[in-house]
Amino acid sequence: MGRRREEARVDIRQDSQQAKEEIKQRLDLVALVSEAVVLKRSGASLKGLCPFHDEKTASFHVYPSSQHFKCYGCQKGGDVFTWVMERERLGFLEALRMLADRTGVQLPEASGAEVRAARVDRDLFGILERVQAWFHRCLAGETGRSARDYVEGRGLTAATESFGIGYAPGPVEKDASTHWPLADKFRRSQLPVEAGIQAGVLGRSRAGHIYDKFRNRVTFPIQDDRGRVVGFGGRILPGFESETEPKYVNSPESPVFNKRRVLFALDHARTQRAREVVVMEGYTDVIAAHIAGVSGAVATLGTSLTNEHAVLLRRFAPDGATLLFDGDRAGRLAAERAYRALAGEILPTRIALLAPGMDPADLVADEGRAGLDRVLEAAEDSHRAFLRLLGQRLDLSTAEGRAQAYQECCEVLATIRDRFRRQDLLERMAAGLMITPEVLEAGIGRPPRREAAPEPQAQEPERAGPVSRMRDHMVAALLRSPEVLTELIERWPGEEEIFAPGYHRTLVADLQELVLRNGAWPEPAELLSRWLTLMGDDPAGTHFVLRLDEIGRTIEEPLRAVLDGVKFLGQQLDLGRVARLKESYRQALADSLVDRARELEAELTQTLKRLGRPPSRRIR
């Protein structure tokens, strides 16, 4: 068996090598390079200005006979694969797939599951591209006037084409029914509605009706690093705000969209070959920065900076990243969390803080590029900034404050694999905490000391039961990714309260109130701080929130956690409903209420069907 697997691996490697050679035969390196570099004949080669470093005299040569290139200035060189890998900043397998798509070369056959997954991805990318084109046309159409006015008022008109800004019109009441423009577009164009739901642009109501997820919003296509549309961001138009419509929304996660692995406008930064990026918090901020000439501006999408984002930054920002945050408390907490995500990466990072209440778009509108440059030039080394922020948040004059700072520094150091970088940071942190490096090093990898957890108050029932544990995970998922609350509200099928009275209901209601008041989703760090404040002097409540934070850190897919919870809790409610219906049915028969008994039997049958259990002929 092991021998057959090894032979299969050898066959795949041989097939990949054959595919590589066939791609090289079909592609002309001169034509490929000419798409990016102006080449002129020079003897046996063609030469031009090197795209990999700044120069005034051409030292970059392409040799048609051998199909390779060489720069005699920076010494980069290689074949067509090296060119794509260097130019597009791709790994070999990604370059192989890209060039195979371009030349039509068939790569070694993948497994059935891989083929099916690839087909789904292609279908969803195609659907999203068509939706993006439709949103963009709607902005330019008669119904898009208010959206165009908003775009102009925000100073974003210059980026309408380059960023593909669009407009998602709202529903139309006609013939005593509601017509959803995008859903109607799917039907007219014979596009699969299920694919639209999977892509996150359509939704299905509890009654089974199809509706548009984006309505009365200016839309911003979210693209991956290869420029493929994977989702949308939407900003509600003035006049359409309501209790159920937050100011900003992003597409839910899908097979092609994982917000932890996508940075808004990274494809633009990559196309413009920005060597340093500026990480911001909103897409309108990023677009305003690009208009002002900051080509490396990118943004996270409703989530804190993650380790997956760090991988992207290391790959596409060789000169490092500047993290730009609001200077208020929530912004400072977000900066600390971002630092933790990047501390273990070999990537130069700096942190810059805006004045409280100011965002980059406002700064560009008020002061232009000069204002943004001034803030970025004041950015400080991220290690130094982290220690300063830590000192502002914790009272280092107290034993408790120093102990907490000690533990947080140890947690950061434990993520740093490079021995020299860790030693350098260890010494700097030790100096900041006024302890010796040896004392700090002794705490790395040691489990944090925790005080005995107080017993939760009686208001929190069923603490150890499966229902309560599932609710814990659902609320922890909301803390990790607050915007999945929308999916929770839309997917919950019952009229009963999903959360029993107690901490769960209190926290979720607070999140709903916060979103309705502010019109935007809070950052996880901001929500955690708010919930801790909400608990005040209740030690059990504080412990409960901190435990949710710990649970949330283990949840990789918050949306999946919420949807699994909806399914599980719905089943539990149905099981309880079955027991009540059976008892009511027996009582109706005992009282000779035949019509009532029939109604109860029909309701019981429907409930059992939802549970996947065929109704028995006789109710016991």
The pLDDT tens digits of the residues spanning 21-35 come to 888 888 889 988 988
pLDDT at 273: 82
**pLDDT value of residue 610:** 58
Query: How far apart, in whole angstroms, are the C-alpha atoms of residue 371 and residue 378?
Result: 11
Q: How far apart are CA 531 and CA 511, in angstroms?
A: 9
Q: Does a structural domain hold residue 212?
A: yes
Q: Give the domain CATH number at 74.
A: 3.90.580.10
Say if residue 313 is in the same domain as residue 191: yes
Cβ-based burial of 176 (10 A; exposed 0-12, middle 13-18, buried ≥19)? exposed
Q: For residues 169 and 320, what is the distance between their CA atoms, to the nearest angstrom? A: 40
- Note the pTM of the prediction, 2 decimals: 0.64
Residue 172: inside a domain: yes
- CATH code of the domain in which 537 resides: 1.10.860
Residue 320 lies in a domain: yes
Both 555 and 413 in one domain: the answer is no
Mean pLDDT of 140-165: 94
pLDDT at residue 172 greater than cutoff 70: yes
Q: What is the pLDDT of residues 125-137, one digit of tens each?
A: 999 999 999 999 9
List the beta bridge partners of residue 222.
Answer: 231
- Say whether both 226 and 295 belong to one domain: yes
Same domain for 138 and 174:
yes
Q: Assess if residue 334 is contained within a domain.
A: no
User: Of the candidates 148, 210, 220, 160, which has an alpha carbon nearest to the alpha carbon of residue 181?
Assistant: 210
Model confidence at 613, pLDDT cuts 50, 70, 90, reads low
Final residue of a structural domain among 103, 135, 164: 103
Q: Which residue has the higher pLDDT, 53 or 383?
A: 383
Alpha helices in 450-522 (DSSP H): 466-480, 485-491, 503-518
DSSP code, position 467: H
Query: Which of 95, 309, 157, 136 minimizes the C-alpha distance to 229?
Result: 136
CA 168 – CA 214 distance, rounded (Å): 6
Q: Which residue has the tokens 């120093």?
A: 402
What is the SS3 assignment for 568? Answer: helix
| Domain stop point among 43, 70, 103 | 103
Nearest to 333 by CA among 393, 407, 388, 384: 393
- 512 lies in the same domain as 471: yes
Of the listed ranges 3-7, 294-298, 327-331, the least confidently predicted one is 3-7
Which residues does 194 contact at the CB level (< 8 Å), separation at least 6?
none
Cα separation, 308 vs 162, whole angstroms: 26
pLDDT tens-place string over residues 415-457: 887 777 788 889 988 888 888 888 888 888 665 444 433 444 4
Same domain, 535 and 576: yes
Total number of residues shown for the chain: 620
Q: Calculate the CA 212 to chain-centre distance.
A: 21
Shared domain check, 204 and 176: yes
Q: At what angle do helices 539-553 and 466-480 cross, to 10 degrees?
A: 70
pLDDT tens-place string over residues 348-357: 899 999 998 8
As a whole number of angstroms, the distance between CA 258 and CA 200 comes to: 12
pLDDT-above-70 percentage for the chain? 82
Contact indicator for 519, 235 with CB cutoff of 8 Å: no
* Residues forming beta bridges with residue 48, ordered by sequence position: 60
CA-based end-to-end distance of the chain: 53
Give φ, ψ of 235 to 5 degrees. Answer: -115, 120
Domain boundary among 52, 75, 103: 103
Q: Which of 114, 84, 111 is nearest to 96 (CA)?
A: 84
Burial class for 251, CB neighbours closer than 10 Å (0-12, 13-18, 19+): buried
Structural domains of the chain, count: 4
User: Are 466 and 607 contained in the same domain?
Assistant: yes
Mean per-residue pLDDT over the chain, rounded: 81
Q: Helix H segments across 27-144?
A: 29-34, 80-88, 92-103, 112-140
- Residue 59, classed as helix, strand or coil, is coil
C-alpha span between 320 and 552 (Å, rounded): 29
Mean pLDDT of the 468-479 span:
87
- Residue 425: which CATH number? 1.20.50
Question: Based on the domain organization, do 81 and 128 belong to the same domain?
Answer: no
Domain contains 415: yes
Q: Mind listing the pLDDT tens digit for each residue in 560-605?
A: 888 888 778 777 666 666 666 667 767 766 766 767 767 767 766 7
**Predicted confidence band at 11 (pLDDT cuts at 50, 70, 90)?**
very low
437 lies in the same domain as 471? no
- CB distance 524 to 304 below 8 Å: yes
> In this structure, is residue 381 part of a structural domain?
no
Sign of CA dihedral 470, 475, 477, 483: positive
Confidence band, pLDDT 50/70/90 cuts, at residue 232: very high
Residue 288 lies in a domain: yes
**What is 367-429 written as a DSSP string?**
HHHHHHHHHHHT-EEHHHHHHHHHHHHS-TTSHHHHHHHHHHHHHHHTT---HHHHHHHHHHH
Containing domain of residue 424, as a range? 394-442
Question: The CATH number of the domain where 181 resides is what?
Answer: 3.90.980.10
252-261, pLDDT tens digit by residue?
888 899 888 8
b/e 133-146 (16+ beta carbons within 10 angstroms → b): ebbbebbeeeebeb
Q: Are residues 416 and 267 in the same domain?
A: no
Q: Is residue 305 part of a domain?
A: yes
Q: Verify that 140 and 243 share a domain, yes or no.
A: yes
pLDDT reported for residue 351: 95
Buried b (16+ CB within 10 A) or exposed e, 346-368: ebebbbbbbeeebbbbbbbeeee
Q: In 10 A of CB 440, how many CB atoms?
A: 21
Bridge partners (DSSP) of residue 51 are none
Question: Could you tell me the two tokens for 42?
Answer: 């020079």
List pLDDT tens digits, range 57-87: 899 999 988 899 999 988 889 999 998 888 7
